[in-house]
Amino acid sequence: MSPSSIEAIAPATSANLGAGFDVFGVALDSPLLFDRVLVEKIEDEGKIEIEVEGEGAEGVPREPERNTAGIVARELLRFSGRRHGLKIVVYKGIRPGSGLGSSAASAAATAVAINELLNLKLSQSQLIDFAALGELASAGAPHADNVSAAILGDFIIITSREPLEVLKLKLPDNAEFAIVLPEIKVDTGLARALLPKKVDLSSMVYNIGRAATFVAGIALNNVEIMGRGMMDSVIEPARAPLIPGLSQVKERALKAGAAGVAISGAGPSVIALVDSRKARTETVAMAMKEAFEEVGIGSRPICARPGPGAKVIRREVE
Ligand code: HSE
């Protein structure tokens, strides 16, 4: 029996992790930190209806051509050749503009739900490509780091964007993440627009060294070495002015025992890597929250482990 509606969830993700700009991504497993998407068939041919509820829903556009989930749905419906429409209800657990892959989660959950609803049998790489179209609309840049992690889970490396090649690695069991989400907004478009168009050779060498160190830490099952790789001399200095207190927050995370710390994606969240055998993730998260408080910014501490990717959680049949 073919399904009449499918519900899927996709996790929050953190991109970059220091020097891996547009290349590294990790899926985050933390209670309530995911988007849930319900998709059902409707009669009107080609029509896409969008409803949005939850965290920051009031700021999310409902027009399908401006909504991440709407764009993914439109493209998948075209691809399928089906002569009906789709209604999509997005329940946001991840605040938009948090640096935690909010739009990627909506896009990933929508792609996974429609794939099952319309029995499209897409490969994971096709799912990422469709989900990335939604990201392109919201972030204005064709990066696939968040959507890849949101679909595949665990830690991913974008080996190539065109054509898309993604590697997935499992992180050490003792790798955890302390995150702090401040009550400030960072305009994702601005966070990309202010990036340097050219990079000098010494910065390139620095960043390659750091990114390689992060991956070497994974290969060596050593969280401390991974943490040494979470440094970036190109992107983070350009974005730092958008996050008041960033240097204090980073300093406090390291003092509280974090192995490494960086802006999460385009910010304003800050993510610290913690070796759970050496420090308490909650302690690091609280230390970062206190540092934001000291500069007058409220924030939400979050603890997460690397987690699974998007999945279908419910199917109703006709
Ligand atoms: N790699 C992207 C960026 C991720 O840093 O702009 C956005 O979350």
Report pLDDT digits (tens) over 275-290. 999 999 999 999 999 9
The interaxial angle of helices 68-80 and 124-139, nearest 10 deg, is 140
Residue 311 vs residues 4, 74, 110, 146, 157: alpha-carbon distances, Å? 17, 20, 10, 16, 20
Within this chain, do residues 51 and 183 fall inside the same structural domain, yes or no? no
Q: Which atom of ligand 1 is nearest to the CA of 99?
A: 8
CB 117 within 8 A of CB 5: yes
Residue 143 Cβ < 6 Å to ligand 1: yes
Residue type, 289: K
Do 36 and 153 fall into the same domain?
A: yes
Give me the residues of the chain with pLDDT under 50, please: none
Total number of domains in the chain: 2
Residues 63 and 121 in one domain: yes
Q: What is the pLDDT of residues 87-143, one digit of tens each?
A: 999 999 999 999 999 999 999 999 999 999 999 999 999 999 999 998 877 766 668
Instruction: Give the CATH number for residue 101.
Output: 3.30.230.10
Please tell me the predicted confidence (pLDDT) of residue 318: 75
Query: Is residue 10 domain-shared with residue 139, that is, in the same domain?
Result: yes
Give the distance (Å) from ligand 1 centre to CA of residue 147. 11
Atom of ligand 1 nearest to the CA of 141: 6
pTM above the 0.75 mark?
yes
- Do 235 and 130 share a structural domain? no
Compute the distance between CA of residue 230 and CA of residue 224 in angstroms, rounded to an integer: 10
CA-to-CA distance for 225 and 274, rounded, in angstroms? 11
213 counts as catalytic: no
Burial of 199 (0-12, 13-18, 19+ CB in 10 A): middle
Same domain, 149 and 196: no
Same domain as 197, residue 130: no
- Cβ atoms of 139 and 189 within 8 Å: the answer is yes
Domain that residue 203 falls in: 175-306
Question: Are residues 57 and 165 part of one domain?
Answer: yes
The answer to whether 218 and 229 are in contact (CB under 8 A) is: no
Query: Catalytic residue at 283?
Result: no
Shared domain check, 189 and 88: no
Q: Are β-strands 85-92 and 34-42 bridged in parallel, bridged antiparallel, or unpaired? A: antiparallel
φ and ψ at residue 174, rounded to 5 degrees = -95, 10
Asked if residue 34 and residue 136 are part of one domain, the reply reads yes
Ligand 1 in reach of 265 Cβ (< 6 A) = yes
Pocket test for ligand 1, best of 138, 143, 194, 234 (most atoms within 8 A of CB): 143
Does one domain contain both 48 and 163?
yes
Q: Which atom of ligand 1 is nearest to the CA of 192?
A: 6
Note the pLDDT of residue 139: 65
Q: What is the CATH number of the domain that holds 284?
A: 3.30.70.890
Residues 45 and 9 in one domain: yes
Evaluate: CB of 97 within 6 angstroms of ligand 1. Answer: no
